[in-house]
Structure 1
Amino acid sequence: MLRPWWLGMLAFALLLAAVFAWLGQWQLSSALDTAPVEPGATENVRPLDDVATPGEYLSDPLVGQKVEVTGSFVADDFVIVSSRYNDGAAGFWVTGQLRIADAAAPTSLAVAVGWTADRDEAEAAASALNDDPPQGVTLTGRIISDEGPALPRAGAPATEMSRMSPAALLGVWHDVDGLSVYRAYLTAGEPLSGLTAIHSPAPEERGGVNWLNIFYAVEWAIFAGFAFYMWYRLARDAWEKELEELEVLEESPLPTRD
C-alpha cells in the first residue's frame, strides 16, 4: 500500500470520495425545505404576475396556486382537449387563448374554461365561444404546470389533443407573431358557456423533508466508502498474488547442471 502506484490509487480514491461526499451534501440540502409553503397558501388568490412568468416553468411550491388574471379571449382559438376527468368521470375540456390585459407585450395564457362528458356539447360550446369570445373578463382559478404534448391515440384525428399543453395549443392558435405565452395553464373557477366547473382541488400539503433526496444522500455516502474499499481490495489482491508467486518459486526445484 506504500508503493507509489498504490499511493496514487489512494489519492484517486480520495478524489472520488470527495466528489461523492459533495453530491451527498447537495442531495441532503435539497431534501430540507428551508422555506416551506405555509399551510393553505395556495388558496390565497394572487395576481398571475406574482406567481408565473411567460416562457418560464412553474416552480413546484406554486403548482395549484389560485390566481387572478384579466384579459380577452381570442376568436377561433377555443380548442377541445379530450381524456379529461372530473371527479372520476371521463370527458372533455374546452380551452381558449386569453390575451392578457395591460401586458407590456402581447402575452397569452391557456385557459380551461369548463368540462363536459359529451363531445357534441363540448364542440357546441367551443363553437359558441369562438363566435362570441368573452372580452375584458377577470378570471380566478388554479395555475397548473404544462402536461407536455402527446401524439393522438391510434385511429384518432391528427388534430386531437389529449394533454393540456400550452406548447401544443400555441401551434393551432391565431395571431401568435411576437406572442409571449405562459408555460403553465389556468383551470377557471367559474365555467363558461354552460359547461360544468372543472374539479380542481387544492394540492396536497407538502412536508418539509424530501425523503427521496435523503435516500440519495445515503447512497452517495455509501459510494464514498466503497471507493476506499475498492482501493483496499485491489491492493490486497495484488499483495496476495505476489505471495502466491513467491510460494510457487520457493516450491519449484532449482535447475541443475549436468
Structure 2
Amino acid sequence: MLRPQWILMLLLCLAVAGIFAWLGQWQLGRAVDTAPREEGATEQVMPIEDVVEPGSYLTDPLVGQRVVATGAFVPDDFIVVSSRFNDGEQGYWVTGQFRIDAATPTSVAVALGWAETLDEAEAAASALAAEAGETLEVTGRLIPDEGILPSGPGADPFELTRMSPAALLGRWHDVTDLDVYRQFIVSDEPAAGLVTIHSPAPDSGTTVNWLNIFYAAEWVIFAGFAFYLWYRLAKDAWEKEIEDLEEASA
C-alpha cells in the first residue's frame, strides 16, 4: 500500500473526498440558513403580478400567498373538477378561466367554490356562465398546479380529478397567444350556490430543511466510499502479490 501508485491513488481519493465534504457542508449550510417567512406574510394580499409571472414556478416562501387579480371570467370556461375534499367531505369544485386585464392576454385558473353533488356543481357553473363577462376582482390563495393524473381503467377520460391549469388550458376557449399562470387561485368568496373552499394559511416554516440535510449525509457517505474504494483496490492487489509469492516459493 506504500507503493507510489497507491500513494497517488490515495491522494486522488483525498481530493475527491474533500470535494464531497465541501458539497456536504454547502448542503448543510443551506439547510441551516433556511428561515421561515415572517408570521402572517402569506395573509397580506398582494397583486398576483407582484408574486409570480405567468408560466413561472412559485417559490416555497410564496406558496399559499393571498393575491388579488382584476379581470373577467370567460363565459364558456367554467369546468367542474371532481374528487375535491372540503373539511373531510368529498365533492366537486367549480373552476373558471379568469382573464386578467393586462397588456397581453393572460389567464389564471380560479377555484370558485365547493359543491357536495355533481348536479349542484353543474348548476352553479351554468349560472356563472350566464353572468360572466363583468370586470371584477378575485381575491384568494395562490396554490401550485397539482399535476395531471392519468385516468384509470374504466374511468371517464374527460373527468378531471386534479386541479391543474395545464389540464384546464386544454379545454379553455380563445387561448391563442395566451399567457397562463402555472398556479391557481382558491377564491376567498364562493360563487352563488357553492360552499367556501377550506384553504388554511400554510405553516410558517421551519429553520431546518430536512431534504438538504439528507443530501449532506449522502455526500458524507460518498466521501467515505472514496476511501473504501482505495482500501479495497490496494488490499486486493496486496493479497494477489502474496498469493503470487506463495505460488512461486512452492
RMSD: 1.7
Cα displacement string for residues 29-74 of structure 1 (whole angstroms, at most 9, x for unaligned residues): 3313455311221111111111111001111111111111111000
Per the alignment, residue 115 of structure 1 pairs with 114
Using the TM superposition, give the Cα deviation of residue 146 of structure 1 relative to its aligned residue in structure 2, in angstroms.
0.2
Distance 2:154 2:228 in 1: 57
- 8 Å Cα contact 2:110/2:187 also seen in 1: yes
Q: Which amino acid aligns with 1:80?
A: V
Per the alignment, residue 140 of structure 1 pairs with 139
Distance 1:44 1:18 in 2: 45
Distance 2:17 2:43 in 1: 45
Structure 1 residues 203 and 215: CA distance shift in structure 2, 3 A: same
Instruction: Confirm whether residue 161 of structure 1 aligns to residue 160 of structure 2.
Output: yes
- 8 Å Cα contact 1:70/1:139 also seen in 2: yes
Structure 1 residues 197 and 239: CA distance shift in structure 2, 3 A: same
Using the TM superposition, give the Cα deviation of residue 211 of structure 1 relative to its aligned residue in structure 2, in angstroms.
2.2
Q: Which amino acid aligns with 2:91?
A: G
Per the alignment, residue 174 of structure 1 pairs with 173
Q: Secondary structure at the match of 2:167?
A: helix
Distance 2:160 2:19 in 1: 45
Q: TM-score, normalised by structure 2?
A: 0.93
Per the alignment, residue 54 of structure 1 pairs with 54
Instruction: Confirm whether residue 204 of structure 1 aligns to residue 203 of structure 2.
Output: yes
Question: Rg: which structure is higher?
Answer: 1
Cα displacement string for residues 207-228 of structure 1 (whole angstroms, at most 9, x for unaligned residues): 0111232132123113202211
Distance 2:248 2:156 in 1: 80
Q: Secondary structure at the match of 1:16?
A: helix
Equivalences for residues 1-258 of structure 1 within 5 A: 1-101=1-101, 103-133=102-132, 135-250=134-249, 252=250
Distance 2:125 2:155 in 1: 19
Q: TM-score, normalised by structure 1?
A: 0.90
- 8 Å Cα contact 2:34/2:206 also seen in 1: no
Cα displacement string for residues 164-212 of structure 1 (whole angstroms, at most 9, x for unaligned residues): 0000100000010010000000000001122101000111221011123
Identity %: 62
Using the TM superposition, give the Cα deviation of residue 241 of structure 1 relative to its aligned residue in structure 2, in angstroms.
2.4
Structure 1 residues 226 and 155: CA distance shift in structure 2, 3 A: closer
Cα displacement string for residues 106-126 of structure 1 (whole angstroms, at most 9, x for unaligned residues): 000000001001100101111
Q: Secondary structure at the match of 1:162?
A: coil
Q: Which amino acid aligns with 2:198?
A: H
- 8 Å Cα contact 1:76/1:131 also seen in 2: no
Distance 2:83 2:15 in 1: 51
Q: Which runs of 5+ in 2 are unaligned?
A: none
